[in-house]
Amino acid sequence: MLSTLDHYPTRLDRPSAPIPRIEPTVWGEPVHGPLDQAALNSFAEQGYLVRPQTVGEDWLPALSRELERVGADVDDADPRVIREPNGAVRSVFEPHLLSDLIAQVVALDTVLPVARQLLGSDVYIHQARINFMPGFTGTGFYWHSDFETWHAEDGMPAMRAASCSIALTDNFSYNGSLMVMPGSHRTFYPCVGATPENNHSKSLVRQELGVPDRAVLTAAAERFGINQFTGPAGTALWFDCNLMHGSGSNITPFPRSNIFLVFNSVENALTEPFAAQRPRPEFLAARQIRPVGASVPAD
């Protein structure tokens, strides 16, 4: 099988210069979905977009109860459950397969059409998770580009994926909300350090590999600045797969629970990992492509 050309070498044995992004950020046009030209331009420029009321208030109580149920019911031995160091549930992967209600969120007309428009094609769920970020004990996520991990460890060839993070509790500036470096998605920062076997068993609790060094992060923060995503429950933050982001820990009493849905274009199916011995498990990176909803009508 022809090996796919690696445009974004990473997990190297020595530092390497940043690489300008090859792909467009936005693949669709205003006519292809609910986002107008101004919104598409903003996403292309900033690498993210805030969409209030993506999940209506009438959904929120049932969805919050469903999140708690999934977190409580999922079997302790299930690898899809990631726990905080103190044992509290930190993340649950594949929640859309564990809950019909969450599966319905994927196909909402405020979600699926936006994903298709941004990616310019039919889409499938590459990864989905609930991040609970519990009050007092929720630990954060260090600065990283998701694409760096998905390219290195899952074999995602191109930057043609987007995350939709739906707040299910109010996201305040002080309870572990997402921080982003606006515009950083147009630069790929190669990282140093080979991927160890089974890296995800650690990286999902504390990511130490596949993160740029402090000099690179300092330069990026000075160049792009840092914005913080805040918003009431029901608000969605859409962000490009390569946007540099992270979150602080949550020492407030207020949990910051989000559903993360990662949409990948059906044209960007995973190949072999570009910088890991073997692919990560299916629940972290779907290799069986199931396009969401009916196919996009031909033009």
Q: Which residues bind ligand 6CS (CB under 6 A)?
A: 127, 129, 141, 144, 146, 149, 203, 207, 284
Compare residues 122 and 146 and give the one whose CB is closer to Fe ion.
146
Q: Tell me how crowded residue 235 is: count the other CB atoms within 10 A of its CB.
A: 21
User: Does residue 94 interact with Fe ion by CB under 5 A?
Assistant: no
Minimum CB separation of residue 244 from ligand 6CS in Å reads: 11
For Fe ion (CB under 5 A), the number of binding residues is: 1
| Binding range to Fe ion, per CB under 5 A, among 19-27, 108-116, 143-151, 217-225 | 143-151
Compare residues 39 and 207 and give the one whose CB is closer to ligand 6CS.
207
Q: By beta-carbon distance, which residue lies closest to Fe ion?
A: 146
Question: What's the start-to-end Cα distance of the chain, in Å?
Answer: 33
Pairwise CA distance, residues 139 & 117, whole Å: 33
Say if CB 133 and CB 256 are below 8 A apart.
Answer: yes
**Cα–Cα–Cα angle for 226, 229, 234, nearest 5°?**
170
Pairwise CA distance, residues 116 & 292, whole Å: 10
Minimum CB separation of residue 144 from ligand 6CS in Å reads: 6
Amino acid at 105: V
Pairwise CA distance, residues 44 & 38, whole Å: 10
The structure tokens listed for 156 are 């995602």
Compare residues 32 and 280 and give the one whose CB is closer to Fe ion.
280
User: Which of ligand 6CS, Fe ion, none lies near 207, with the C-beta cut-off 5 to 8 A by kind?
Assistant: ligand 6CS
User: Which of Fe ion, ligand 6CS, none lies near 127, with the C-beta cut-off 5 to 8 A by kind?
Assistant: ligand 6CS
Instruction: Kindly tell me which residue out of 146, 153, 154, 240 binds Fe ion, with binding defined by CB under 5 A.
Output: 146
Sign of CA dihedral 159, 145, 227, 233: positive
Compare residues 207 and 271 and give the one whose CB is closer to ligand 6CS.
207
Comparing CA positions, the residue from 200, 290, 241, 273 lying closest to residue 21 is 241
User: Which of ligand 6CS, Fe ion, none lies near 63, with the C-beta cut-off 5 to 8 A by kind?
Assistant: none
Give the Å distances, CA to CA, from 13 to 90, 212, 217.
Answer: 31, 13, 19
| Binding range to Fe ion, per CB under 5 A, among 30-38, 142-150, 271-279, 282-290 | 142-150
Minimum CB separation of residue 299 from ligand 6CS in Å reads: 33
Compare residues 40 and 161 and give the one whose CB is closer to ligand 6CS.
161
User: Which of Fe ion, ligand 6CS, none lies near 149, with the C-beta cut-off 5 to 8 A by kind?
Assistant: ligand 6CS
Compare residues 59 and 141 and give the one whose CB is closer to ligand 6CS.
141
Say if CB 28 and CB 114 are below 8 A apart.
Answer: no
The structure tokens listed for 215 are 């000099």
Compare residues 117 and 163 and give the one whose CB is closer to ligand 6CS.
163
Say if CB 197 and CB 275 are below 8 A apart.
Answer: no
Find how far residue 33's CA is from the centre of its chain.
Answer: 21
> What does the binding site for Fe ion look like in residue numbers (CB under 5 A)?
146
